Structure 1
Amino acid sequence: MKIAIIGAGISGLLSALELVEQGCSVMIFDQQQAGKAASWAGGGILSPMYPWRYPHAVNQLAQYGKPLYLDWNKKLKPVSGIDFEIHESGMLIFDEADFESGLNYAEQFQEPMQQCEYLQQEQIEQLNPYIDSKFQHAIYFPQIANVRNPRLLQSMVAYLKQHPQVEFIEHCPIEQFNIKNGKVQSVQAKNGKTYDADQFVITTGAWSQRWSEQLDLEIPVRPVQGQMVLFKTPANWLPTMCMNDVMYLIPRLDGHVVCGSSMADCGFDTTPTVATKQKILEACFEMVPELAAFPIEKQWAGLRPGSPTGIPYIGKIPEMENVWANFGHFRNGLCMGPASAQLLRQLMLGQTPLVNPAAYSPARLKSEAELMVH
């Protein structure tokens, strides 16, 4: 089976991996360079932030993130030579209003990886001596890890590019589906070429709404900008991830610390702003004052695929014979990515799905578009 995957972010690359492992041949298209948009820009926390604030369908896929990335890293690293750097740093959360939900979450939803403990200031100081002493208590999730997403993407691209069943077509926007009797025959690219395949998968993230007209379907996915700031500290300086009021610090193994993140509706603009940077820095220095002594290495913004509930669309597009969706993951594309791709592969190849696919069905597009309007 020949499959065209449109969009080479985390969802497209993981979908490609799942399908080539099953013997399919895959063409992967991207309007720019593979793995360079939102997937590259995110923080890489392998859990939704405050999972109890999300619908069950989000957490159901997210819980597979860490174990599946560990498996993929084992498989890809010998070929790509690149380690994902899955770092089990644990996460401290200081939002008092979330303590009760956080402490009960693992048991309530049978998610042992979200096991959590309540810490007082003395214990916080032992665990992470850089936390400001004004934080008298916190909840701590020891098993939450982060993945270094730029490395993850580089490894997947390197692995797929050497695979005999894979063809990459980058810097090549797809402009049109050529549809006949509810079936896509081929896609028309900006380079003037036409590409045919048996099945077509849409993994275009924040850009997915552009297919609405051609598929005669309102796709309620819009870009939501998120900004990040990167510090360089000594290796292993900050022992844990930290979060307060939706702002977070993520330590990498080599001493980089990723700080974020904001939310802004500004179309497809990825220009970082001074005001937002200031807000991120204030929140981060409030948690870890000593961070202010280290240099800022980089600042950037990415575009999340904002969807009404944050539950992605995975499965066959209504009334189309051979078009599939894997988009709309909003803030959790990275941690939901591996299970989303696995579910898509299972649905495409008629295999037993790892979760009930109903919650993710693109048939929801009909009703949810109306929610976005009101």
Structure 2
Amino acid sequence: MHIAIIGAGITGLMSALELLEQGCSVTLFDQQAAGQAASWAGGGILSPMYPWRYPAAVNALARHAKPLYQDWNQKLQPFTGIDFQIHETGMLIFDESDFEIGLSYAKTHQEPQQQAKLLDQAKLQQINPKVDNSKFKQAIYFSELANIRNPRLLQSIIRYLKQHPRVTWHEDCKITRLNIQQGRANSISDEHGRLFQADQYVFTTGAWSQYWSQQLGLEIPVQPVQGQMLLFKTPENWLPTMCMNKVMYLIPRPDGHVLCGSSMRQVGFDTSPSSEIRQDILQACIEMVPELADFPLVKQWAGLRPSSPDGIPYIGKIPKLQNAWANFGHFRNGLCMGPASGKLLAQLILEQTPIVDPVPYDPVRLLESSHLML
């Protein structure tokens, strides 16, 4: 089976990997270079931030992130020479209003990665002496949470796919039209009018998914939401754990880079960083770890998250079409839902037993959105 995947961010790339594993041939399209949008820009925490704030359907996919990425890293590294750098740092959360619900969530769900305990000040300082001990007297500690170095993850997958004999690439190729006859897609066209054909067509178009609303006859409620990030350079292994407070986070990399984020702004497709938001992020992160102010700020950037109304992605067959599929709308959790999203999509296309109950993700929900818009 030949499958066209429109969008080569983490969702499209993971979908391609899973379909290749099942013997399919894949053609990947992206309007720019692969892996350059939100997938590159994010932090790479392998869990939703504050999972108790998200629907069960988000956590059902996200809980597979760490083990699936570990498996893929083992498979791909011999071919690519690139390690994803899955960094098992654990996470400290300082939001006191979340202590009780966070501990209750951990106890109720008993997920391996969401084990949590309440730390007193002495234990907190022992685990992460960089935290401001005059401000933070307690924290809940998720010892099993990890982060992935998403630029390396993307480099590895792209390198693997580019040397794979059953993969064809079309980067800097903007697909603008789905050509439909009698309830089937029979080809797609790019902005120059070139036609491409496949057996199945998959839309992994992230923040740009709403573009397809008119052609699909659906209202696709996916909007770009800008998130801004800062990057510091400290000594290797300087910050022992990830830290989070008031939705701001610090993510340490093994080589001493520390990612700081993140904001939420609705500014369309604008990816220009804002100096005001930069100050907000700086203030929040230095409040957690004051010594960070002593190190150089080496980079800042912004990316576009594909927001959906409830954060639950649309994964499955597109209504009214026999051979077109959706895998978009992951909002803040594209990286941590990515591997399970790709696996679920492949299983649905190939009529296999799904990794999770597919009903909550069914794009039939788009018909309801369209009805509400009338």
TM range (shorter): over 0.9
- Alpha-carbon distance in 2 for matches of 1:144, 1:153: 20
The alignment partner of 1:225 has SS state of strand
Deviations 1:146-182 (A, max 9, x none): 0000000000000000000001100000010111011
Q: Cα distance, 1:259 vs. partner?
A: 0.2
The alignment partner of 1:67 has SS state of helix
User: Could you say which residue in structure 2 is the equivalent of 1:82?
Assistant: 82
Q: Cα distance, 1:110 vs. partner?
A: 3.2
The alignment partner of 2:86 has SS state of coil
Q: Does 1:240 align with 2:241?
A: yes
Q: Does 1:32 align with 2:32?
A: yes
- Alpha-carbon distance in 2 for matches of 1:36, 1:291: 28
Q: What is the CA RMSD across the aligned residues, in angstroms? A: 1.1
The alignment partner of 2:364 has SS state of helix
- Shifted more, 98-107 versus 299-308: the winner is 98-107
- Alpha-carbon distance in 2 for matches of 1:108, 1:201: 36
Describe how 1:116-195 pairs up with structure 2 within 5 A: 116-133=116-133, 134-195=135-196
- Whichever residue aligns with residue 155 of structure 2, its letter is Q
The alignment partner of 1:362 has SS state of coil
User: Could you say which residue in structure 1 is the equivalent of 2:48?
Assistant: 48
User: Could you say which residue in structure 2 is the equivalent of 1:218?
Assistant: 219
Asked if 2 retains the 8 angstrom alpha-carbon contact of 1:311 and 1:328, the reply is yes
Asked if 1 retains the 8 angstrom alpha-carbon contact of 2:221 and 2:369, the reply is yes
Asked if 2 retains the 8 angstrom alpha-carbon contact of 1:106 and 1:112, the reply is no
- Whichever residue aligns with residue 115 of structure 2, its letter is Q
How many correspondences in the alignment? 373
Asked if 1 retains the 8 angstrom alpha-carbon contact of 2:39 and 2:150, the reply is yes
Deviations 1:118-164 (A, max 9, x none): 00111111111110111010000000000000000000000000000
User: Could you say which residue in structure 2 is the equivalent of 1:355?
Assistant: 356
Q: Percent identity?
A: 68
Q: Cα distance, 1:101 vs. partner?
A: 1.2
User: Could you say which residue in structure 2 is the equivalent of 1:58?
Assistant: 58
Q: Cα distance, 1:284 vs. partner?
A: 0.2
Asked if 2 retains the 8 angstrom alpha-carbon contact of 1:89 and 1:145, the reply is yes
Asked if 1 retains the 8 angstrom alpha-carbon contact of 2:34 and 2:158, the reply is yes
User: Could you say which residue in structure 2 is the equivalent of 1:345?
Assistant: 346
- Alpha-carbon distance in 2 for matches of 1:143, 1:69: 15
Asked if 1 retains the 8 angstrom alpha-carbon contact of 2:112 and 2:144, the reply is no
User: Could you say which residue in structure 1 is the equivalent of 2:94?
Assistant: 94
Q: Does 1:274 align with 2:255?
A: no
- Whichever residue aligns with residue 121 of structure 1, its letter is Q
TM-score normalised by length of structure 2: 0.98
Asked if 2 retains the 8 angstrom alpha-carbon contact of 1:315 and 1:326, the reply is yes
Q: Cα distance, 1:108 vs. partner?
A: 1.1
User: Could you say which residue in structure 1 is the equivalent of 2:70?
Assistant: 70
- Alpha-carbon distance in 2 for matches of 1:214, 1:321: 15
Q: Cα distance, 1:370 vs. partner?
A: 6.2
Q: Cα distance, 1:192 vs. partner?
A: 2.9
- Alpha-carbon distance in 1 for matches of 2:191, 2:23: 29
User: Could you say which residue in structure 2 is the equivalent of 1:332?
Assistant: 333
- Whichever residue aligns with residue 117 of structure 1, its letter is K
- Whichever residue aligns with residue 348 of structure 2, its letter is L
